[in-house]
Amino acid sequence: MLTSPAAEALAPAARRPRRSRPRAGVVVAIAVVLALVVVASLLLGVRSVSPDKVWAALWPGAAGHDLTDPDQRVVAQLRVPRTVLGVLAGLALGCVGTVIQGVTRNPIADPGLLGITPGASLAVVCAVSFLGVTSPLGFVWFAFAGAAAAAVIVFSIGRAQPVRLALVGAALTAFITPIVALVLLSDVNAFNQYRFWAVGSLTGRGLDTAAALWPFLVVGILLSALLARRLTLLAMGDDVAAALGQSVGVTRGLAAAAIVLLAGTATAFAGPIALVGLVVPHAARRLVGSDYRWIMPVAALLGPVVLLGADVIGRLIVPNSELEAGVVSAFIGAPVLVAVARGRSVAGV
C-alpha cells in the first residue's frame, strides 16, 4: 500500500523500501522514453507520414525539403506546434503537481482541486462573452490571468495549510462553476468557443503561444528547482523543517509563486488538462523515493511523456478522427485517482 510523502520521509531508514534501480538511471530511461514519444508525435496521426518526409520537413537544408508537399506541411504546421506545446505543458503540469502536493502535503492535490483551473475557465468565458475574444492566442492571456488570480486567492486565504487550502479551493470551485454555466447558457457563441478549449487539447494553438509564455514557464521551473530540497524538509512537518534551519514562510511563498506561474502557463497552453498534475508526482515518488531533489526532475520528464503520449493515443484510437489529449489523460488518470483515494490517507485530513 502506498504511503503519503510525509509519512515516507518520517519512516525509519530500516523500514523504507530499498530502491533497486539507480535514480540517475531512472532519469535517463525516462528521458529516452520522452524522446521516443516526441518522435511518435511527429510520425503518427490520422495521416501517416514517412520518417524521411518528417526529416525533410524539420530541416530546411535536408534533401527534398518542400513545405508545399502535403505530408511535410502537416508535420511543420500541425505536428511540430502540438509536440512543442505538449512538451512544455506537460513539463509545467509535472512540476506544478509536485510543488502543490509537496507544499500542501496532500497526495490528491492538483490545480483542479485548488480551484486554479476553474479560475482560468471563468476568465476564458468572460473574455469570449464580454470582450469578443476568439483567437487561441487571445485565450492564452485570459487563461493565464484567471489561473493566477485563483491561485492568489486560494493561497492568500488558505495560508498554505493543507486542509484550509483544500477547503478554500473547493469553495472557490463551487462559486465559479455556476457562474461559468450561467454565462454559457446565455451566450451560444461563448459556449461554442469555450467547449473546444475546455476539453483540453494541443490542437488549434501555434508556436506563437509558446513564444508568448515561455518566460513564465522558465521562471516557474527555476523556482521549482529551488524548492526541491525545501519540500523534502517540509514533508517532515513544519516544526522539523524550521528546526533544520528552513524558513517555512519563505518556502510557501516561493511555492505559491511557482504554482501561479506553472499552473497559469499549463492551462494557457493546453486548456484544463485533467489529472496529469495528480498522477505524475505519484509515479515519480514510486520510481525514486521521497526526496524531492529527485522527484522534481523525474516529474518534469514524466509530465510531457504522459500528456504527449495521451495526445498520440488520441490520434490513433479512433479511425479517421481524434480524441483530445484531455479526454485520454482523464481515462489514464481516473483509475490512479481511485487507487490513491482507496489506498492512501490524505495528510492532515
pLDDT at 38: 96
- 331 pLDDT band, cuts 50/70/90, is confident
- 37 pLDDT band, cuts 50/70/90, is very high
Contact 250, 107 (CB under 8 A): no
Q: Among 55-59, 139-143, 225-229, name the most confident range.
A: 225-229
CA 252, 255, 261, 262 torsion-angle sign: negative
Contact 128, 194 (CB under 8 A): yes
Contact 160, 287 (CB under 8 A): no
What are 192-209's pLDDT values in tens digits? 777 777 778 888 778 888
List, in order, residues 6 or more apart from 264 with CB less than 8 Å away. Answer: 116, 120, 143, 144, 145, 147, 148, 151, 216
pLDDT at 147: 85
Residues 65-72, mean pLDDT to the nearest whole number: 82
328 pLDDT exceeds 60? yes
Question: Alpha-carbon distance 202 to 250, whole Å?
Answer: 35
pLDDT at 226: 94
Report angle CA 140, 143, 147 to the nearest 5 degrees: 140
pLDDT at 348: 37
Question: Alpha-carbon distance 127 to 193, whole Å?
Answer: 10
Which three cell numbers mark 307? 500528456
Question: What secondary structure does DSSP assign to 127-153, as a single string?
Answer: HHHHH---SHHHHHHHHHHHHHHHHHH
Residues 137-148, mean pLDDT to the nearest whole number: 82
* Bigger pLDDT: 221 vs 337: 221
Give the fold, CATH level 3, of 5-9+85-343.
ABC transporter involved in vitamin B12 uptake, BtuC (1.10.3470)
- List the chain domain ranges: 5-9+85-343
Average pLDDT, the chain: 83
pLDDT at 1: 40
- 12 pLDDT band, cuts 50/70/90, is very low
29 pLDDT exceeds 50? yes
Question: Alpha-carbon distance 46 to 37, whole Å?
Answer: 16
349 pLDDT exceeds 70? no
